[in-house]
Amino acid sequence: MNVYLDYSATTPTDPEVLAAMTPYFTEVFGNPSSVYSLAAKSRAAIDKAREQVAAAFGAHPEEIFFTGSGTEADNWALKGAVDKAREAGKHGACHVITSAIEHHAILHTADYLEKHEGVKVTYLPVDSEGRVSIDDLRSAATDETVIVSIMFANNEIGTIEPIKAIGEFCRERGILFHTDAVQAAAQIPIDVQELKIDMMSMSAHKMYGPKGTGAFYLRRGVKVENFVHGGGQEKGRRASTENIAGIVGMGFAAERMKQRLPTEKPRLTALRDRLIDGILKSIPHAKLNGARGEERLPNNVNFSFIGVEGETLLLDLDANGISASTGSACTSGSLDPSHVLMAIGLSHELAHGSLRMTLGRGTTDEHIGHVLSVLPGIVARRRSMSPVWEQYVKEHGGS
């Protein structure tokens, strides 16, 4: 049996999405910037996709800009906000607030702004479940704060942040609020108007669309500088000839995601909870990382097992037909412990023994049963060879 449990790393392209995209590779291939009828068909396809993405998140079509990825949208939000603030006269006084558990697309961009642009950045701590404190945000904000960027839900541990409260605070203070919703967009309902979000990043390949396409929500009236310069594509905001097929695929994927969410969210939540409860009952001293219940993404399961290396778990699971990860797919080759798990207070030993399993449309009860039938034995075998586990048992008891 093959069980894919890494949907937060990427999803397979939905066959319906692929079918919608196909004509734009070979038949309707005109450059949207041209004036003939073939180009008009391409422009119409992009306009439709823009409407589909906007409708999925409560936005207006003119507020959606297509990018090459969620990472590009993250860069655009932070760098664009800082550049616009400086253009308005806030030279050298820019302050950015983010969190310690953001995706590296945000953290590395913030680091760049600190090192090369002289921007002051505050990295908010999180609690033991990975949640940002509104009180910490209030204390950190100053008159120089240009933008607050807090991810909608964490890609490793699945904790959903208090986005509405953050949005309301930022709106009251006149501070731009950006959220990286790459993981959350396909899993939970999002209404950018209700949540008072100014900017939001999305990625097609997390919602059963194609890789290489993302979207950036920019609320009407919000001013940020362009990130990609060149031609006049995307209403003069994002240069480069449009990836028509990818954009069509993202629009179609967003529409289908919105339609399926009312049934898919409770289905995945039930499977998630079965997997979590099964692991807690069958594996001694297993630690669930992240929040529980409605404050956790419906498809996310993240555990740490003392005395076990996460990489060895992946190899053993793979030998049993199970694909999972130790955290973010973007850093899976790193030997360093997860910055997210360290931020929530885990020891190096626990952080190194983490396992992330993320569910999706193809996940079934049978798949969860297969995981629960093999994972306890894998953990027990690895622990039997671990001096760390032996020492832990001596100090804490149990077996």
Q: Distance (Å, rounded) from C-alpha 58 to C-alpha 194?
A: 8
| DSSP string over 45-105 | HHHHHHHHHHHHTT--GGGEEEES-HHHHHHHHHHHHHHHHHHTT-TT--EEEEETT--HH
What residues does 160 pair with on adjacent strands?
153
Catalytic residue selected from 330, 373, 377, 381: 330
Measured at the CA of 127, the angle between CA 157 and CA 327, to 5 degrees, comes to 20
Task: Enumerate the H helices of the chain as residue ranges.
Answer: 15-21, 23-26, 37-56, 70-87, 104-117, 134-140, 163-173, 233-236, 244-282, 310-319, 339-343, 348-352, 365-384, 387-396
Concerning whether 170 is annotated as a catalytic residue, the answer is no
* Cα 200 off chain centre by: 11
Q: How far apart are the first and last CA of the chain?
A: 30
353: tokens are 């023994």
Amino acid occupying residue 19: A
Please provide the size of the chain in residues: 399
| DSSP string over 359-383 | --TT--HHHHHHHHHHHHHHHHHHH
Measured at the CA of 169, the angle between CA 167 and CA 171, to 5 degrees, comes to 65
Amino acid occupying residue 275: L
Catalytic positions, written as ranges: 330
